[in-house]
Chain A
Amino acid sequence: MTLTRPFGLAAAALALALLYALPAIAPRAVVQDLFGILTLLVLAMNWNMLAGFAGLVSVGQQAFVGIGAYAMFAAIILMGLDPLVGVLIGGLAAAAFAVPMAFFAFRLNGAYFAIGTWVVADIARLGISQWKALGGGTGTSLPKGTAKDMAFVGQIKDMLDVSSAAAADALTYWLMLSLAVAMLVASYVFLRSRMGLGLQAIRDNENAARSVGVDPVKLKALVFLLAAFGTGLCGALAFIQITRVTPDAAFSVIDWTAFVIFITVIGGIGTLPGPIVGVIVFYILQRALADYGTIYLIVLGCLGIVVMLFARRGLWDMFTDRTGIDLMPLTHRPPQGSLPRPKPSRRAA
């Protein structure tokens, strides 16, 4: 294990460098393809923080994607701002929406929470459909050439020597990739911190965590807000590339929540590399079964069920159990000093 872990980390760093270099070496279609995959990855990481670590099984994440997308469109069309500023506004708008949503949903437990968040997301969809300035129920498109006029697109165009459209794709791709990396690093740091430890203690045993002074509501609310922000950023960024928004597409429970849940579950819920493994499996399945249409979704659904029945913690956990390799361990080893102080661990249920 002492040897394999640095090796694994080096491999991961190499893969990351390759991913960053991709727009310079791969055709545009591949970059666009990977952009879609990275979008799902970021959403899955956010959902994993909620359901896997904070115990908040939300079925309403499409609310934040939709609000992020619509806020970005509003910033561009109604206020004439740069799309990148629009993305930031999208994230902030989603986080702002999460505040009243949390006040309502946090009164509900477990299953009620899942349904409650779903209903709130549907309210957001129906509410946005009434916003006539952004096309109401039929939606609207970005003004022609918006993506090409984005900040930095000119420089990237010169640097890579490609068309403006390809440069815009490269920019959104890099931003999404950076968002994914930032999410991963931030989640790791957060979960290794005192607050993260408290969060996992709550998930394992809420009463015990409370008795040692952890405030569950405060921590969960914080994670809920941060996940809303991340999901909103991701949604806004995704819709720059889609260029057209409708309430049904932006608030789609299948595209933005169902797929994301399957990805997380198959890869390994409650583990950091889980969503990455899940998204790779998802991508392979998508490529292999793309010609069969509905069969692909049936296979995905069955796979999700099988994982829940036989390997509840997903593929990544199966891998760490068999090999002992854990690239992002969240467990704490007991201190080696003369005064052993017990600390709660990941599996201290």
Chain B
Amino acid sequence: MILVDTLAQGLLLGGLYALFAAGLSLVFGIMRLVNLAHGDLIILGAYLILTISTVTGLHPFLAVLLAAPLMFGLGWLLQTHILNRVLGTDILPPLLVTFGLSVVIQNGLLAGFTADSQKLTAGPIEAASVNLGVVTLGVMPVLTFASAVAVVFALNQLFYRTALGRAFRATSDDAVTAQLMGIRPQSIFAIATGLALVVATIAALFLGTRANFDPSIGPARLLYAFEAVIIGGLGSLWGTLAGGIVIGMAQALGASVNPEWQILSGHIAFVLVLLIRPRGLFPRAND
């Protein structure tokens, strides 16, 4: 009974991690870019939502609609002006540039918003819960999980049903040949990073309403997100969701034994999966 409850909470937590990871998985899958600033970009998104809802008085759920286009623009600019210049066969330059970005964003937020923790207030919905007989689930975690499924579903539709998605897949498989077919990888990459930041904004909404945040917590979220992406396998968005759920459930199980073991058990699950399957559970593309 308690076990079922723990697993259900873990499943829902996995939804949040999948949201953190979906944007990362998108850029990683398409351009093999390891964005070490992704965690900090999520936190930046959370502060953007906070600022918009404070200034305009909008509910965070509506403020996110204003924040998303801004974050898309930021992603687009970031990719065209900085990241496109360092992409190549050597993984070190993009790794180091995004690492630099991470430090800049983190300390920029620290300078602008101080180290005080903040929270997005969503009103009575935060405390609401639904009783399913066997378990009682919070409405917000359920909503988070549903959003994760919706985001992954929408991205998959985009990937496999649209011309843009075809261009994404073609560039992912072979950027040079895609170029021969009239696709400009640079602008495809810019759109992909923009989209990734839109997903990051959605993740930021649920992160900010679920718990307190401050400028320093980005890297830890990044680590969970990467674990989810790698467990899921390169280029598979459903795999990323599965990876998020694996981490979420492992953390919930660990925490139910000893609260200090929550993060440790997530990491150990990651190591175990990779020991058995070094390329993750459902790899689509070759790395």
A residues contacting B by CB (< 8 A) are 51, 57, 104, 107-112, 114-116, 118-120, 122-123, 126-127, 129-130, 137, 253, 258, 261-262, 265, 269, 294-295, 297-298, 300-305, 308-309, 312
CA distance A126 to B258 in the complex (A): 13
**Chain B min CB distance to A22 (Å):** 31
B residues contacting A by CB (< 8 A) are 28, 32, 34, 82, 85-86, 91-93, 95-97, 99-104, 106-108, 110-111, 219, 223, 226-227, 230, 260, 263-264, 267-268, 270-271, 274-275, 278, 287
Note all chain B residues with C-beta closer than 8 A to A261.
Answer: 96, 99
Q: Is the CB of A119 within 8 A of B223?
A: yes
**Chain A min CB distance to B264 (Å):** 4
Among A118, A137, A262, the one with the most B-chain Cβ atoms within 10 Å of its Cβ is A118
Q: Is the CB of A108 within 8 A of B96?
A: no
Note all chain B residues with C-beta closer than 8 A to A130.
Answer: 260
CB nearest neighbor in A for B271: A104
Overall SS of chain B's interface? helix
CA distance A127 to B97 in the complex (A): 31
Overall SS of chain A's interface? helix
Check A110/B230 contact, CB under 8 A, given A122-B267, A253-B219, A302-B100: no
**Chain A min CB distance to B229 (Å):** 9
Q: Is the CB of A305 within 8 A of B34?
A: no
**Chain A min CB distance to B68 (Å):** 26
Note all chain B residues with C-beta closer than 8 A to A110.
Answer: 91, 287
Note all chain B residues with C-beta closer than 8 A to A108.
Answer: 274, 278
Q: 28 A-B Cβ contacts within 8 A? A: A57-B91, A57-B92, A107-B274, A108-B274, A108-B278, A111-B34, A112-B278, A116-B274, A119-B223, A119-B271, A120-B271, A122-B223, A122-B267, A123-B267, A123-B268, A126-B260, A258-B103, A298-B104, A298-B108, A301-B100, A301-B102, A302-B104, A303-B100, A304-B96, A304-B100, A304-B103, A305-B82, A305-B96
Note all chain B residues with C-beta closer than 8 A to A123.
Answer: 264, 267-268, 271
Q: Is the CB of A304 within 8 A of B264?
A: no
Q: Is the CB of B95 within 8 A of A305?
A: no
CA distance A199 to B25 in the complex (A): 32
CB nearest neighbor in B for A300: B103
CA distance A116 to B97 in the complex (A): 19
